[in-house]
Structure 1
Amino acid sequence: MNPMRALRQYQKVNSHAQISEASPHRLIQMLMEGALDRMAQAKGALSRNDLPQKALLITKAIDIITGLRQGLDEEKAEDKDAMQQLDSLYEYMTVRLTQANAANDPELIDEVARLLITVKSGWDAIAPQ
């Protein structure tokens, strides 16, 4: 058996276990971590000039951010303006990642990563309900 394949399979099973046991708060953290990981991996692929892999990873990051955006629940929001700002920020991130993908621009990936790290640090500071 291929050890890398075994490792990927273990990671897949392990991540499924973590997801099934995670609180909604932790799931959001895991999604943000996943998006940041994909952006870092995309930058690595870009530095290796592996453009198909870069495109795949940026698309995965966009999909995760889109999922975070779709998960915003205006009905439950105490601050509707803050919710709208976060929605707009997620939209901006997806536009910038699309531009980064088209232009092969690591600076744009870094910009989005910094924005998401800022959002994540605020989320991390909120204790789970």
Structure 2
Amino acid sequence: MAAMKGASAYARVGVESGVISASPHQLIVMLFDGAKASIRAARIHIEAGNITQKGKSISKALEIVNGGLAAALDAERGGEVAQNLASLYDYIARLLLSANRHNEVAKLDEAEQLLDDIASAWREIDPQAQAAGG
């Protein structure tokens, strides 16, 4: 048990260190990764019949999508792209809510795929990679 607590603390410090040293672009990538990890955990909990943990995992994914990704959008500077992403994040949130309500793995799959598609595009526009010539 002590080893588990130690590993958990180590992981937390690693995440916190990553956040502190991350660029704004990297922070968004971390949000995508966190949302997808929460969705994967929710899928596992649905399949295992662990409804309480499924709800917690979906709530975490919703918090990341709504409170992180959607909240980070700049409608003024982002224009139509930001509006389209806001609509997409809203749709993803509705998928997650439906998956939670009806234990629908297919809705989780769709939400994860959409997040993966957006994350892939986001990674391709990494300003640091472009500045470095890559």
On whether the aligned pair clears a TM of 0.5, the verdict is yes
The answer for the alignment partner of 2:77 in structure 1 is 76
Gaps of 5+ in 2: 129-134
Measured after TM superposition, the shift of residue 128 of structure 1 is 2.0
The answer for the alignment partner of 2:34 in structure 1 is 34
Distance 2:14 2:80 in 1: 38
Distance 1:91 1:27 in 2: 20
Structure 1 length-normalised TM: 0.95
Distance 1:59 1:127 in 2: 28
2:122 corresponds to which letter in structure 1? W
Distance 2:90 2:6 in 1: 37
Measured after TM superposition, the shift of residue 74 of structure 1 is 1.5
Gaps of 5+ in 1: none
CA RMSD after TM alignment: 1.0
Q: Percent identity?
A: 35
Structure 2 length-normalised TM: 0.91
2:47 corresponds to which letter in structure 1? S
Q: How many residues align?
A: 127
Distance 2:27 2:126 in 1: 13
The answer for the alignment partner of 1:88 in structure 2 is 87
Distance 1:43 1:7 in 2: 24
Distance 1:51 1:123 in 2: 32
| Higher relative helix content | 2
